[in-house]
Every structure is written in structure tokens, then in C-alpha cells.
Amino acid sequence: MKTLASLMAERRAAMAGRAPPRRGPRRLPRQAEPESQRLLYLRLLRPLLRDAHSILKAELRPVLEGMRAEDAQRADAPSPDGGFGRPGPTVEARAAVRRAAKQWLAEVPTPKLLRLAGVVAGKVSDFQRAQFRRVFKEGFSVDVLSAEPSLRPLVESFTRDNVALIQSMASSYFEEVEAHLVQALTTGARAEQLAEVLQQRYSVSESKAALIANDQVGKLYGSLNKTRQEGLGITHYVWRTARDNRVRPEHVALSGKRIPWDKPPPEGHPGQAVNCRCYADPDVESVLDTL
């Protein structure tokens, strides 16, 4: 596999007899953030959540309708306990949630999720590849793609891990809905209040989906960047942040520091911490000094 040093040596040999190529900047152009890939992942996750929500509402509709009828009857003839602790609706609600979870898993099988995660992985890899190529083309006028390492293990690992994450996200949604419904029913909640519980848990799951999309795309982008840099023989990087007020203090402290790829800081390399938007700027000093 060709390193950056060998690619630049080849270019120098090809330029023999002509004006010497510029040595290159001390810092390469900044890579763009994978925002469109994060948005793509979230756009693919949202329909899965909407399907789960729709299935659940359909399964719970008979339970809520039965409760409304009971509430209306109770209003005409109040029971001594005020209607608290209704065992029937609790058992029915639990059963409805579990039916909904089973139906969702049947409608969204693993092969479908593998395709979804594979699309995201491919888009992130293509974007990072284009960014990587651009910065070295602009910085040194060399095409680093001729030294492209094998990235299949990274892409396959991301795909498998994210299928598990999506399934876990859906399972958590159903489990949390069930727990909140049972809690509400044991305190005498009415049908309208249970409907509010469903909407609240759906909103929470949407936030979790956004976190998964942001976090997982950042992790894959960082891993691809690391693998491509090491494939070029680049042993160190400079930590760069997203340069806004959302950067965590410990990453602000790392900004501008030169870090070896084989010795990550306690925070891990850029992109490894949850929702980290930092990136590793290739440190080409050692390569330049050998030319």
C-alpha cells in the first residue's frame, strides 16, 4: 500500500526537470462535517418510529375506547374507589403493547434494517472519501485514493451494530410505553391521559433517534478518517473541534493538540465520545520532514 511519502516522491519524480512542486501547507484544508449524512439517517429512522407508533395506537384503541365507556358510566354512577386500580385495562394495555411490538418486528425484519444501515454506511464512507481526497489534492496535489485501505470491516461492523441499535430503540419505546401506561392506570388515569402518555413517549423516542443518527454517523466518520490516515502512514493527528458552544469542555482543552493514533486520550479519538462532532486533522509534519 502506498503511503503519503511514496505518493509525493512519485509526484516529485514525475516533475523532474520542471519547476519543483510546492512543499505543501503545514495544515490541510478543513474537512466538511457529515451533516447531510446525519439528516439522511434520521430521515430513514423516523418512518420506523412512526410505524411503531401507528401500530401501537391501533392495538390500544379498543382498550382506550373501553375505558372511555367505563369513565362515562362511572360519571353517571361513581364507584366508591373513584375507579382507581383498574386491573382489566392494565392487563389489556400490556397485552396490546406486546402485540404491537411483535407486529413491528415482523414488519421491520433484520434484512430490511441491514439494507437501511448499509445505505447510511455507504453514504458516510463516500462522503468521507471525497473529503479526504479533496484536502490532499488541495494541499499536496496528490491523489490519495490510490492508497485506499480496505474499509469493508468498518462498514460491516457499523451495519451490524446499527441494526441492533435500531431494534433496541424500538424495544425501548414499547417497554417505556408499557411501563408508563401501567403507572398511569394504577393511579386512575383516564383514556385521554393515556393518549398523552403515548404522544410523550413518541416524542422521547424521536429525540433518541436523532441522537443515534448524530452519534453513529460521527463515530463512523471518525473511524474512516483514522483508517485512511493510518493507511497513508500518518501516525499523528491534530484535534479540531466544531468551534461552537456545544463543544464539551474536555474537547475544547484538546483542541489543537497533536495526538498519536495509537495512544488515544481518555476521551477517545474524535467522534468516539457520544455525539462528538470533533475531527482529526492529519498531522503531516513528520511526512514533510522526510522529503
What is the per-residue pLDDT across 13-58, written as a single tens digit (0 to 9) for each? 766 655 555 555 556 888 999 999 999 999 999 999 999 999 999 9
Task: Please check the confidence at residue 248 and state whether its pLDDT lies above 90.
Answer: yes
Give 71's pLDDT tier (boundaries 50, 70, 90): low
Least reliable range by pLDDT among 71-80, 94-103, 175-184, 266-275:
71-80
Calpha distance 141→164 (Å, rounded): 41
Q: Give me the pLDDT at residue 253, please.
A: 95
Residue 251 maps to a domain: no
Q: How many CB atoms lie within 10 A of CB 6?
A: 15
Q: Give me the pLDDT at residue 83, please.
A: 45
Mean pLDDT of the 86-114 span:
91
Question: b/e per residue, 112-123, with b = 16+ CB within 10 A?
Answer: ebeebbbebbeb
Task: Please check the confidence at residue 213 and state whether its pLDDT lies above 80.
Answer: yes
Residue 276 maps to a domain: no
Task: Please check the confidence at residue 80 and state whether its pLDDT lies above 50.
Answer: no
Contacts 24+ apart (CB under 8 A), 261-268: 261/226, 261/229, 261/230, 261/234, 261/235, 261/236, 261/237, 262/235
Q: Give me the pLDDT at residue 141, please.
A: 80
List, for residues 107-154, the tens digit of each pLDDT value: 999 999 999 999 999 999 999 999 999 988 888 788 887 667 789 999
Residue 266 maps to a domain: no
Residue 173's domain comprises 4-15+24-234
Mean pLDDT of the 208-214 span:
96
Residue 35 maps to a domain: yes
pTM (whole model) above 0.75: yes
Q: How many CB atoms lie within 10 A of CB 30?
A: 12
Phi-psi region of 213 (alpha: psi -120 to 50; beta: other; left: phi over 0): alpha
Residue 93 maps to a domain: yes
Least reliable range by pLDDT among 2-16, 168-182, 267-281:
2-16
Residue 291 maps to a domain: no
Mean pLDDT of the chain: 87
Residue 63 maps to a domain: yes
Residue 288 maps to a domain: no
Calpha distance 286→235 (Å, rounded): 9
Tell me how many domains the chain contains: 1
